[in-house]
Amino acid sequence: MVSILVAGLVSGSIYALIASGLSLVWGALGVFNFAHGVLLMMGAYVAWWVSAPGGLGLGLLVGILACIAFLILAGGLLYALLVRPWIGTANAELTVIMTTIAGAMFLENAALYLFGGRLKVLDQVVSGTVSIGGTAMQAQNLLVIVLAPLLLGALALFLKLSKYGLAIRAIAQNREAAQLLGIRIERMYLATFAVSAVLAGVAGVMIGGLFNLSPGMGSDPLLRAFLVVVFGGLGSLPGTIVAAYLIGLIEAGSSYYIGIYWTPVVLFAVLITVLLVRPNGLLGRPA
């Protein structure tokens, strides 16, 4: 039971980090960024390239800092090139889905060209094992379980207390009113994408410490994050976090008791059942 709980919390923590960025962009801009999974992959590869002896060999701490700096820039560029031209146009939601999918495919192939198809191994932030409740687990797993709530708490404080966070929330509630108050919409959109990209990059480093790196490593987490955002309620950050941990625990429990191949069936069954009862998700508000 303890091992199932640990596996569920690790998965839920990673899903919460990824899905929070996706939810943040949806809440502020009303679009889905389907290149979010590629940002995760790029963060992991940058950390590997800067830190590993096969790259620059500067150590993991420098690699993580480089990953964060790179993703702030990458998030801004992604917004400027793939999203900004379509904001305010007819069918902007569908157009942005297509442009970000196309961008994701381009960046995946670019990573394949630059780094090759051979799997890469990123060093773990902490190594070794720890014992909890008589069950041994990797220290990296415990780090993920502890770090994710801290980062999400910092995100909540940023949105609640900082000038930029309050502006992002104001735009999410009413863009026109926020603009009349003098809030610079474009700057806040850039900040939203930068924060979202950094969350994806941190999740990429965490996943990279547990599994191998590959150009397609962001695809499956993106699908899970999309389910989490819908399950929790579109644009609801608390709902997204609750849904992420629920899905992580459901995945771990169903994989153990009925097999990993039935896990997607169970997840979709739970999602459909919840949406039949609460069409706006667990904590979503009516449109």
Structure tokens at 177: 């009113």
Q: What is the spatial distance between Cα 20 and Cα 38, in angstroms, rounded to a whole number?
A: 15
Q: Tell me what the mean pLDDT of segment 190-212 comes to.
A: 90
Task: Give the pLDDT of residue 287.
Answer: 58
CB 281 within 8 A of CB 239: yes
Q: What is the mean pLDDT of the chain?
A: 87
How does pLDDT run across 132-190, given as a tens digit for each residue? Answer: 777 778 888 888 889 989 999 998 898 888 888 888 888 888 888 888 888 888 888 99
Q: How many CA atoms lie within 13 A of 203 on its CB side?
A: 33
Is the pLDDT score of 120 beyond 80? yes
pTM score of the predicted model:
0.89
Per-residue model confidence (pLDDT) at position 128: 82
**Model pLDDT for residues 37-46, shown as the tens digit of each residue:** 999 999 999 9
Mean of the pLDDT values across residues 209-224?
87
Residue-wise pLDDT tens digits, 181-196: 888 888 889 999 999 9
pLDDT at 274: 87
- Could you tell me the two tokens for 178? 């926020």
* Residues 5/173, Cβ–Cβ less than 8 Å: no
According to the model, what pLDDT value does residue 282 have? 81
- Provide the residue type at 188 as one letter: M
At 178 the pLDDT is: 82
Answer for the pair 258, 266: CB distance below 8 angstroms, yes or no: yes
Q: Nearest-CA neighbor of 45 among 222, 217, 220, 225?
A: 217
**Residue 103 confidence (pLDDT) above 70:** yes
Type of residue numbered 157 = L
CB atoms within 10 A of CB 160: 10
Return the percentage of the chain with pLDDT > 90, whole number.
29
Q: At residue 60, does pLDDT exceed 80?
A: yes
What integer is the mean pLDDT of 75-87? Answer: 91
Task: Please answer whether residues 15 and 240 qualify as being in contact, where contact means their C-beta atoms are separated by less than 8 angstroms.
Answer: no
- Calculate mean pLDDT across residues 226-245: 87
Q: Strands 129-132, 135-138: parallel, antiparallel or unpaired by DSSP?
A: antiparallel
pLDDT at 57 (0 to 100):
86
- State the average pLDDT over residues 235-261: 88
The fraction of the chain above a pLDDT of 70, given in percent, is 99
In this predicted structure, what is the pLDDT of residue 286?
63
For the residues 100-117, what does the mean pLDDT come to?
A: 91
Q: Per residue in 6-54, pLDDT tens?
A: 888 988 999 999 999 888 888 888 888 899 999 999 999 999 999 988 7
Residue 207 tokens read as 């996943």
